[in-house]
């Protein structure tokens, strides 16, 4: 069941770019879920800002757009009261006149929490912030939310942070990564630091390797123009996968205060072994999907997608062998993998423990493998611990691997909150633990940028793979060291 939020203050959430997919698919459905559950205070308001005029007197058009993405689709009777919370403003937020119209719709009481959610292209983050400040819309109780991508390299990321930082203080800037709002990801800290059984063995002495996978069956869809200039490394590794790696590898923070947690994540990013020059070819694999079949349906290859330039060698798949060079993780490889149009939708963290030092059982008794902890982030959130167990019955000590399964849905109920539901409420409460600090973002770019440069200088091309498969063959070769395989290849 959804947690009861008891300390949500009155707020006004200004969604700039309210006509876009992000608002329709994530922001407004998340707010509606809290409205249905009674979490929103009577004074909570939404100011939906769009350049296009909105003629929707009873909210029918808005409900039609957001209803496929809400968890409470059967709660239409509550939508009218939710719709009353929304004020629509037609304005170009980059222009002084548009910013003035937005500010005129806001509450003048500085005690009311004000959050500007920039659901727009990062190219206009600076102009929007400057215009809002010039119109008098930014005060000490205001915050701004920035969606990825924060630039396309380190220099452009710094430029965005500089222009936004000229208006908002660092503690007013919330750089969102929705992976950090997922229940399983948050539970990773509890799993590690509240359970002695894991805390004592979470190190190189006992762990053979770590796998982090974010596989999608979807293609680029309507994002072809953006994705063609980004690719899998910029779109997924620089943010989502590196954030997951940080939570796996970080040291215990001194507290759960935002900077205590983010300081430890930053140490991990700064401990990542650089991958550059010739190492890029031996430590990374690039791929690009071609025509294939997903769940029996034939799908286009990437170069035939709308908005894609066929001449560009954009990767839709990447796998990386990384190392965290510190005492805890010396010698433990971290395998990162993400891609589109793969065999299934799967995001997971796999902790592969080492084998027992001596095989007590005779050959042929069963597999001699180490324990494996699988943290399933999506679609079916939960945790599995794979152990070796004796097969019941006669026949000696034959054994096989079997899981202890903690399904979040069956344990805590089917109605698990969406990541944006958690993150939006942290925003209005001013809790920044699950958001990225500027130095984190820049440290991630500092590690990723040499890989991008290495691909360019070595001419490492994206290897074609058929849609519906597990990506390029080279990805299996990358992990196949001393008998290692990707998790699904060993199921």
Pick the last residue of a domain from 147, 167, 188.
Answer: 147
Question: What does the mean pLDDT of the chain come to?
Answer: 89
On whether residue 59 sits in a domain, the answer given is yes
Instruction: Look up the CATH number of the domain holding residue 450.
Output: 3.30.360.10
Which residues 6+ apart lie within 8 Å of 273 measured at CB?
Answer: 322, 323, 324, 325
102 and 189 together in one domain: no
328 and 400 together in one domain: yes
Which residue is associated with the tokens 């920039």?
Answer: 118
State mean pLDDT over 461-482: 92
Outline where 216-257 has alpha helix (H).
224-227, 231-232, 242-249
Q: Which of 153-157, 402-406, 451-455 has the lowest mean pLDDT?
A: 402-406
pTM score, whole prediction:
0.91
On whether residue 422 sits in a domain, the answer given is no
pLDDT-derived band at 365, boundaries 50, 70, 90:
low
Could you tell me the two tokens for 6? Answer: 């008891």
Task: Give the single-character DSSP code of 354.
Answer: P
On whether residue 425 sits in a domain, the answer given is no
pLDDT-derived band at 93, boundaries 50, 70, 90:
very high
245 and 111 together in one domain: no
187 and 128 together in one domain: no
On whether residue 159 sits in a domain, the answer given is no
Pick the last residue of a domain from 127, 147, 167.
Answer: 147
Could you tell me the two tokens for 166? Answer: 């000229």
Summarised one tens digit per residue, pLDDT across range 47-59 is 999 988 666 777 8
84 and 213 together in one domain: no
Summarised one tens digit per residue, pLDDT across range 253-274 is 999 899 999 999 999 999 999 9
Where in the sequence is the domain holding 79, given as residue range(s)?
A: 11-147
223 and 355 together in one domain: yes
146: which strand partners?
Answer: 118, 175
On whether residue 428 sits in a domain, the answer given is no
273 and 346 together in one domain: yes
pLDDT-derived band at 403, boundaries 50, 70, 90:
confident
Instruction: Look up the CATH number of the domain holding residue 137.
Output: 3.40.50.720
* Per-residue pLDDT, 316: 97
Spatial separation of the C-alpha atoms in residues 263 and 251, rounded to whole Å:
10
User: What length is written for the chain?
Assistant: 491
Spatial separation of the C-alpha atoms in residues 475 and 458, rounded to whole Å:
18
pLDDT-derived band at 85, boundaries 50, 70, 90:
very high
Domains identified in the chain, total number: 2
Q: Classify 68 as helix, strand or coil.
A: helix
Q: Classify 467 as helix, strand or coil.
A: coil
187 and 92 together in one domain: no
* Per-residue pLDDT, 73: 66
Looking at the predicted structure, is the pLDDT value of residue 95 above 90?
yes
105 and 187 together in one domain: no
On whether residue 153 sits in a domain, the answer given is no
Known catalytic residues are 240
Cβ count within 10 A of residue 408: 17
Looking at the predicted structure, is the pLDDT value of residue 369 above 80?
no
On whether residue 173 sits in a domain, the answer given is no
Query: Are residues 215 and 344 in contact, defined by beta-carbon separation less than 8 angstroms?
Result: yes
Count Cα neighbours of 375 within 13 Å in the Cβ-side half-sphere.
Answer: 22
239 and 386 together in one domain: yes
Which residues 6+ apart lie within 8 Å of 392 measured at CB?
Answer: none
Could you tell me the two tokens for 233? Answer: 């490394």
pLDDT-derived band at 329, boundaries 50, 70, 90:
very high
On whether residue 429 sits in a domain, the answer given is no
Pick the last residue of a domain from 122, 147, 172.
Answer: 147
142 and 184 together in one domain: no
338 and 404 together in one domain: yes
């Amino acid at each position: 069941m959804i947690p009861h939020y008891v300390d949500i203050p009155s707020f006004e959430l200004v969604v700039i770019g309210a006509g876009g997919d992000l608002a329709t698919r994530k922001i407004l459905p998340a707010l509606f879920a809290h409205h249905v559950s009674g979490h929103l205070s009577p004074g909570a308001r939404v100011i939906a800002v769009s350049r296009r005029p909105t003629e929707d007197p009873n909210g029918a058009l808005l409900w039609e757009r957001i209803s496929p993405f809400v968890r409470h689709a059967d709660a239409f009777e509550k939508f009218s009261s939710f719709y009353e919370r929304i004020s629509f403003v037609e304005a170009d937020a980059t222009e002084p006149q548009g910013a003035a119209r937005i500010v005129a719709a806001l509450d003048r009481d500085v005690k009311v929490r004000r959050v500007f959610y920039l659901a727009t292209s990062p190219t206009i983050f600076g102009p929007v912030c400057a215009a809002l400040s010039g119109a008098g819309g930014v005060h000490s109780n205001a915050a701004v939310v920035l969606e990825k991508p924060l630039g396309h390299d380190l220099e452009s990321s710094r430029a965005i942070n500089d222009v936004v930082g000229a208006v908002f203080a660092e503690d007013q800037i919330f750089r969102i990564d929705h992976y950090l709002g997922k229940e399983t990801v948050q539970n990773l800290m509890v799993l590690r630091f509240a359970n002695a059984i894991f805390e004592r063995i979470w190190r190189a002495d006992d762990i053979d390797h770590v796998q982090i996978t974010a596989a999608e069956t979807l293609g680029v869809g309507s994002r072809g123009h953006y994705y063609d200039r980004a690719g899998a490394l910029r779109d997924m590794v620089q943010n989502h996968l590196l954030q997951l790696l940080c939570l796996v590898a970080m040291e215990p923070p001194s507290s759960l205060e935002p900077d205590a947690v983010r300081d430890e994540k930053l140490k991990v990013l700064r401990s990542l072994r650089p991958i550059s020059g010739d190492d890029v070819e031996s430590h990374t694999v690039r791929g690009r999907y071609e025509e294939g079949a997903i769940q029996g349906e034939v799908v286009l290859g990437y170069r035939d997608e709308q908005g894609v330039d066929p001449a560009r060698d954009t990767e839709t798949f990447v796998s990386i062998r990384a190392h965290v060079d510190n005492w805890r993780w010396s010698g433990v490889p971290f395998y990162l993998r993400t891609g589109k149009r793969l065999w299934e939708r799967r995001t997971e963290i796999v902790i592969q423990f080492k084998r027992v030092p001596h095989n007590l059982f005779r050959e042929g008794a069963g597999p001699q493998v180490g324990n494996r902890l699988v943290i399933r982030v999506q679609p079916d959130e939960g945790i599995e611990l794979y152990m070796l167990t004796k097969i019941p019955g006669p026949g000696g000590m034959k054994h096989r691997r079997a899981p202890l399964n903690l399904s979040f849905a069956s344990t805590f109920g089917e109605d698990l909150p969406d990541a944006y539901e958690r993150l939006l409420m942290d925003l209005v409460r001013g809790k920044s633990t699950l958001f990225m600090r500027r130095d984190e973002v820049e440290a991630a770019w500092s590690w990723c940028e040499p890989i991008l440069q290495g691909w360019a200088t070595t001419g490492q091309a994206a290897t074609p793979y058929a849609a519906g498969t597990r990506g390029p063959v080279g990805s299996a070769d990358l992990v196949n060291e001393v008998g290692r395989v990707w998790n699904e290849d060993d199921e």
